[in-house]
């Protein structure tokens, strides 16, 4: 059950062929490439993967491919498995746990239903108590309509199966600052000491790493893997001046890659770079506009 997520995790896109089918070869090649460029692990079936549009067989294929690649490289695989149905989330995690290569699951704050914060805590505690896998919580209020405060996160960190949180709140806010401060002041062997805060806002990863985040889960690292890995390593080794320069250089690319609904621009750029065979997404997403200007700008920043 021990899993302490750290470093840059890449939530992989799900490539499709020109005919709209799952492009399994593209997915496998992309998974290998991001790990070879230094990713600490990959996330399969996260939001970036368009999981709600995948058939059960396609989801199984994604898990098999990503699991095999992670096993070959000896890195952890995290799988998105949360919903706004508590019992359904437990069932989804049980299904995912059948894949031996899965190190943990990414479980989102319940969306649409908009429970009270106490209800969100009860949801996560119920799921964690029944989960065979470690949980990384996913706090993304602009998608869920629900904020999860720092005190609730600290309470949830006390559960032995809740090992971290992807914090994607849209800003460097007071709750995030207080959460990171609580971790920094936590005594060794206390639950918070082994609880990982992972940055989830691509443009804000540098300040959160500077404040003590354990790593990040970044959609734009599908494209700029090596640069985000270097940024993490610079902050981790105390080279703050170099980290600040690189972090500032990565802000514009991160914003550009997220300038239309995720993962449309990322797929357009990967296709333009010849890394996936098409830029296709599935409805209700529409393909991104012309990505040529973004590709040109990235050439000077993301190697």
Catalytic (active-site) positions:
138, 166
For residues 208 and 231, the answer to whether their CB atoms sit within 8 Å is no
For residues 70 and 76, the answer to whether their CB atoms sit within 8 Å is yes
Query: Euclidean distance between the first and final Cα of the chain, in Å?
Result: 36
In angstroms, the CA 126 to CA 156 distance is: 11
| 8 sits in which H/E element | strand 7-11
- Which alpha helices (H) appear in the chain, and where do they start and end? 24-36, 56-73, 86-96, 117-130, 141-144, 150-157, 174-184, 205-210, 225-236, 240-257, 264-272, 292-298
| 108 sits in which H/E element | strand 102-108
Q: What are the residues facing 16 on neighbouring strands? A: 22
Q: Using the 8-state DSSP alphabet, how is residue 1 labeled?
A: -
**DSSP-assigned letters across all residues of 41-103:** EEEESSGGG-GGGS-HHHHHHHHHHHHHHHHHHT--EEEE---S-HHHHHHHHHHHTTSTTEE
In the numeric block, which tokens belong to residue 97? 């746990």
Q: What are the residues facing 215 on neighbouring strands? A: 7, 198
Cis before 263 (ω within 30): yes
In the numeric block, which tokens belong to residue 67? 């699991």
């Amino acid at each position: 059950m021990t899993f302490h997520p750290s470093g840059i995790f890449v939530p992989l896109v799900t490539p499709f062929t020109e005919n709209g089918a799952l492009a399994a070869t593209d997915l496998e090649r992309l998974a290998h490439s991001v790990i070879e460029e230094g990713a600490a692990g990959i996330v399969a079936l996260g939001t970036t993967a368009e999981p709600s549009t995948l058939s059960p067989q396609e989801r199984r294929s994604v898990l098999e491919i990503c699991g095999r690649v992670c096993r070959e490289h000896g890195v952890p695989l995290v799988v998105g498995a949360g919903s706004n149905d508590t019992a359904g989330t437990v069932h989804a995690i049980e299904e995912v746990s059948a894949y031996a290569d899965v190190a943990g699951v990414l479980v989102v704050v319940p969306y649409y239903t908009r429970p009270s914060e106490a209800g969100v805590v009860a949801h996560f505690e119920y799921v964690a108590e029944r989960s065979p896998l470690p949980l990384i919580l996913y706090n993304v209020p602009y998608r869920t309509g629900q904020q999860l405060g720092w005190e609730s996160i600290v309470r949830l960190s006390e559960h032995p199966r809740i090992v971290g949180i992807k914090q994607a709140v849209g800003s460097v806010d007071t709750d995030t600052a207080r959460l990171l401060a609580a971790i920094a002041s936590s005594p060794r062997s206390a639950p918070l000491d082994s609880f990982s805060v992972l940055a989830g806002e691509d443009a804000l990863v540098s300040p959160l790493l500077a404040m003590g985040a354990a790593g990040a889960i970044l959609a734009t690292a599908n494209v700029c893997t090596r640069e985000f890995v270097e940024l993490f390593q610079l902050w981790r080794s105390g080279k703050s001046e170099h980290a600040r320069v690189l972090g500032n250089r990565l802000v514009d690319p991160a914003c550009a890659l997220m300038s239309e609904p995720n993962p449309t621009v990322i797929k357009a750029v990967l296709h333009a770079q010849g890394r996936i065979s098409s830029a296709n997404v599935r409805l209700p997403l529409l393909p991104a506009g012309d990505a040529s200007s973004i590709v040109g700008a990235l050439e000077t920043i993301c190697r």
